[in-house]
Amino acid sequence: MNILFCNIAWMKFYNGNPNGTDQPHGGGEYVERTGDAHEKFNFTPTKVKFNEIDPAEEYCVGFVETKSTNGAESNQLNIEKITGNKKDKAVNVVDDVLVIYCALYPFSSTNETYIVGWYNNAEVYRKYQKLEFTDDNGEIVYEQYYNAISKIENCVLLPESARRNQMWRVPRKRKGMSFGFGQANVWFAQGADENPKLQEFLDRIVKQIEEYDGENMVVNNKNT
């Protein structure tokens, strides 16, 4: 299974913070500087029409901040590290990825990171994609950048009250811990063949995701 862990800001709904009560916390320098987050719509159902023939369908479009490959390039995601296949350096998108969004819990000094939600069967892009939202006059009112997309039936946002449970905790590399998030906002979780503890962790997380039957806040966002 292709898995990508993404570190984003902590929010309750990821529904755009329309009334100012769902301020993003953490997630990097941009969030700290602006009080805003590009990932604020990560779990907002969005109608997307990819061509003139097929009807629009509802998706979640996800953003995670990535590092530049060099000074001349816009930020890119090394998707060949998702598949573990160096030949994929030549491709710009990989499909059938389990994208797991995680965030540092901001209201404690313990610095613990938890899964907030996930996309199953997602497409993940090397370069940022862009959706343009227009008003009734065709004027662009908002541009949404993203590097993952999945149909809403494949997307789950955990209720905030359910996230801060050790079963959803994701490690960060430190003394005595050989795997987890490093300094980057993405973790490709490669090397499980040589690391039994990592394999055990991944097996447990995937099983929890596959068996999850609790509340899904994406549905709530759809109805707001």
- 3-state SS assignment for residue 197: helix
Question: What pLDDT was estimated at residue 89?
Answer: 85
pLDDT value of residue 178: 84
**pTM recorded for the entire structure:** 0.92
Neighbour tally for 156: CB within 10 Å:
23
- CA 122 – CA 120 distance, rounded (Å): 5
Which of 10, 33, 41 has its CA nearest to residue 23? 10
So what's the pLDDT on residue 224? 60
Q: What is the pLDDT of residue 70?
A: 47
Please choose, from the candidates 6, 2, 1, the residue with its C-alpha nearest in 3D space to the C-alpha of residue 181.
6
Give the residue from 17, 33, 35, 16 showing the smallest Cα distance to 25.
35
Sequence length of the chain is: 224
Pair 124, 148: CB distance under 8 Å = yes
Residue 87 is predicted with a pLDDT of 84
Residue type, 187: W
Residue 160's pLDDT is what? 95
pLDDT means per 10 residues, the chain with 224 residues, are 95 90 85 86 89 84 78 75 88 96 89 96 95 74 89 97 95 83 92 93 97 93 69
